[in-house]
Chains A and B, each alone.
Chain A
């Protein structure tokens, strides 16, 4: 049995499974997309965000 037949029999044959896997996939895709974009944003702005430079100022304030 080829890959396409297996795929069809597993996901597409029953509409309930088809729609259910679409919603489950949308949930997983949303989480993955969010974390991916956030990781990219943090890497792109490395050293510019408050969480990257916070240790400089917070430690200085505690020393005073």
Chain B
């Protein structure tokens, strides 16, 4: 037993010694010390100290009058009781943490700028790739250069006498070419076009006043109008009765728009027109 007592004394911290009576004595220990303030406790370290809790007794009103009771076997006020003195080995120092200073960045600002720069560069290249993917894919849908070259039509204008219509085929659609007389030009120019369904002046529709070139497809449902007929001396669509005037403008009937003008150019040297 004495040996056991000696062994136990060996495991004590140096600040604790044993009195001859066997009672451990720690003369320099501050028994009033408490755990440091808990930042999450909001200043409370337990139940209120200024008021006796209800379970410790108190005055209660009964049928026979006021009764005061106090219980002597109190439960512990806290689930944890701090041990102010212990026999475990004292911790010599804080656990040793490896030195990471060699791996740390010298300048956080340049590191941050570099990170954002790399992200931005990747975004820039991705945006370029996405854009070129979309545009290259859309280019495959447009007509190639050889198809566009074949899709032009050249007409010799000298073979069309004044006051006559010529219908030619261009990209599968009929094209009307009208060599207008001066009277027809005057009629087209003097029309009050501002109040028409699709207001367009004659100057907007022709490049040379004597040549009216337009697609011969009715803007209503795609029939081919008949030339030199209708109420306005221009074209008349037999399908649903749309009338077009001598400038190809919708004047009567269900047609919502004027006859369409294709892209064309005059070749003055050879007296030709190139449609397309």
Contact = CB atoms under 8 A, between A and B. Distances in A.
Question: Is the A/B pair a real complex?
Answer: yes
Interface in B87-113: 107, 109-110, 112-113
Nearest to A6: B113
Contact of A8 (B113, B124, B132): B113
Contacts of B112: 4, 8, 12
B149 to A, nearest CB: 14
A5 B230 CA distance: 77
Contacts of A40: none
A30 B113 contact: no
B113 A7 contact: yes
Contacts of B107: 2, 4
B84 interface: no
A2 B108 CA distance: 12
A22 B123 contact: yes
Tell me if B's interface is mostly helix, strand, loop or mixed: helix
A14 to B, nearest CB: 12
Count class of interface residues, chain B: 10 to 19
Interface residues of A, number: 17
B120 A11 contact: yes
Contact of A26 (B114, B116, B117, B128): B128
Interface of A: 2, 4-5, 7-8, 11-12, 18-19, 21-23, 25-26, 29-30, 33
Interface of B: 107, 109-110, 112-114, 116-117, 120, 123-125, 127-128, 131-132
Nearest to B112: A8
Contact of A33 (B116, B123, B128): B128
A21 B131 CA distance: 16
B113 A5 contact: yes
Given A7-B117, A8-B116, A18-B116, A29 B124 contact: yes
A4 B120 contact: no
B109 A4 contact: yes
A12 B113 contact: yes
